[in-house]
Amino acid sequence: MSAHMPIGRMPMEAALARLAAIVGDRASIAAGVLADHGRSEAYHAARPPDVVVFPETTAEVQAIVNLCRELALPLVAFGAGTSLEGNAAALNGGVCLDMGRMNAVLAVHPEDMDVVVQPGITRKQLNSQLRDTGLFFPIDPGADASIGGMTSTRASGTMAVRYGTMKDNVLALEVVLADGRVIRTARRARKSAAGYDMTRLFVGAEGTLGIITEVTVKLHPQPEAISSAVCAFPDLKAAVDTAIAVIQSGVPVARIELLDAVMMRGMNLHAKLGLPEVPHLFFEFHGSKAYVAEQAETAQALAAEFGGEGFQWATTPEERSRLWQARDNTLYAGLALRPGAKAMITDVCVPISRLAECLVQTAADIAESGLTAPVVGHVGDGNFHLLVLLDPERPEELAHAKAFNERLVHRALALEGTCTGEHGVGIGKMDFLALELGETVDAMRLVKQALDPHGIMNPGKIFRPLPASHGDAS
């Protein structure tokens, strides 16, 4: 049992028996299962729960929530395990709610271009089931994340520059609150002025306010034509300036991704791309054949103004798949640069006009610090990521990387940016959130206290609890 549990062994045994009464043999305390649900892609230490439960219906989730409230057990929802800031770590042990079996498509409305799904379905599973409708779900964070997890962390990814983020694509939610009530945050209408925007309250809340059991998301028409391209640049600034020019010129790119020279070296090691090891932009264009050709021609001309050369086109599905699969696997490409290392993956986002300044200063910081930290960015919306490679057995390397990350965040905030463009806050960026938003975090605490007064929903995430003298705001 977890050393962090504020209850004794007998209560947990009793809890396990009562959980089994709800879900049968879909409650597990097997060591391997617990370990799997304590890990993620984050650099943070693994924090396993005391029991993992696999619900299949909203009614089961509701019963589990009621039991956890009664027994004061922490409750953490778990999707695909791809979070990057310890968002689903069971800091206090308790119950992990693995939503993987709630993975059904409940209703497709092709005329309205939306779909209702359970939270455990992954984005690739969803698009596979939508293949014959002529529609698709465009949010692509790289990993095959669950829709519920993407909603909870307000995910975005490579196509956010054209299709927006999860907050732009979630129409409505079904949520089980900490008191056991099941609420629907909105109807399927594309817009509404009916009261508080409860949908977006839960989008990005990281499971701290309730458990999402249904998600209604927008769909988009599959484009008639898709063309991808990769282009090399003499330096980082030239690549970033091209991206800014493309966006400011109104070219409606679907994706525009930056990879620095270090990341390109990792990509060549991992994916055998054979591309020059200099900064590159990866482009993708969606639309009619004529429209795609026009967009691509404009982007190529803008790139040439900044020294871009060697435009390589990928027009067949196989070529595009190889290119974007390599982009999606940048974690493994980065790790190829230092076998045996672990990556501290961090991100910031700044206004696009400040992106070149932020990236150039960051590149200088990397060089001065002696770190290996490849850069990959969704530069069309000012967001970039770094994979800071370190030896997990050497605490001094982790401290060095954390100090770099702190400088990075302070730099982004000074440029009117944010400490996290898409990874969420979790446990890794709580102090930075307070620095970014100040007293707004106190307002978040009030919302948390109102909806989860006993603090059972994913405790210890997003913000730190106030001292006891300030009351219970966990």
- Whichever domain contains 26, its CATH number is 3.30.465.10
Per-residue pLDDT, 11: 67
Residue 347 covered by a domain: yes
CA distance 250 to 302: 12
pTM of the model: 0.92
Residue 428 covered by a domain: no
Q: Quick one: average pLDDT of 236-242?
A: 95
First to last CA, the chain: 23
Q: Both 196 and 335 in a single domain? A: no
* Residue numbers of the domain that contains 378: 225-414
Query: Distances from the Cα of 253 to the Cαs of 80, 150, 165, 350, 468, in angstroms?
Result: 29, 23, 15, 19, 51
State yes or no: pLDDT of 449 exceeds 60: yes
Per-residue pLDDT, 6: 42
Count: domains in the chain: 2
> What does the pLDDT look like over 386-413, one tens digit per residue?
999 999 889 999 999 999 999 999 999 9
Residue 425 covered by a domain: no
> What does the pLDDT look like over 360-374, one tens digit per residue?
999 999 999 999 999
Confidence band, pLDDT 50/70/90 cuts, at residue 194: very high
CB atoms closer than 10 angstroms to residue 231: 21
CA distance 381 to 89: 29
Q: Both 296 and 327 in a single domain? A: yes
Per-residue pLDDT, 44: 83
CA distance 85 to 423: 7
Q: Which helix (H) or strand (E) holds 299?
A: helix 289-305
CATH for 388: 3.40.462.10
> What does the pLDDT look like over 197-235, one tens digit per residue?
999 999 999 999 999 999 999 999 999 999 999 999 999
* H-assigned helices in 370-427: 395-414
Confidence band, pLDDT 50/70/90 cuts, at residue 468: low
312, exposed or middle or buried, with CB in 10 Å at 0-12, 13-18, 19+?
middle
Q: Both 205 and 239 in a single domain? A: no
Q: Quick one: average pLDDT of 314-319?
A: 86
Q: Both 335 and 356 in a single domain? A: yes
SS (H, E, C) 16-67: HHHHHHHHCCCEECCHHHHHHCCCCCCCCCCCCCCEEECCCCHHHHHHHHHH
CA distance 419 to 406: 9
- Going by their DSSP bridges, the two strands 75-78 and 95-98 should be labelled as parallel
Residue 211 covered by a domain: yes
SS3 category, 287: strand
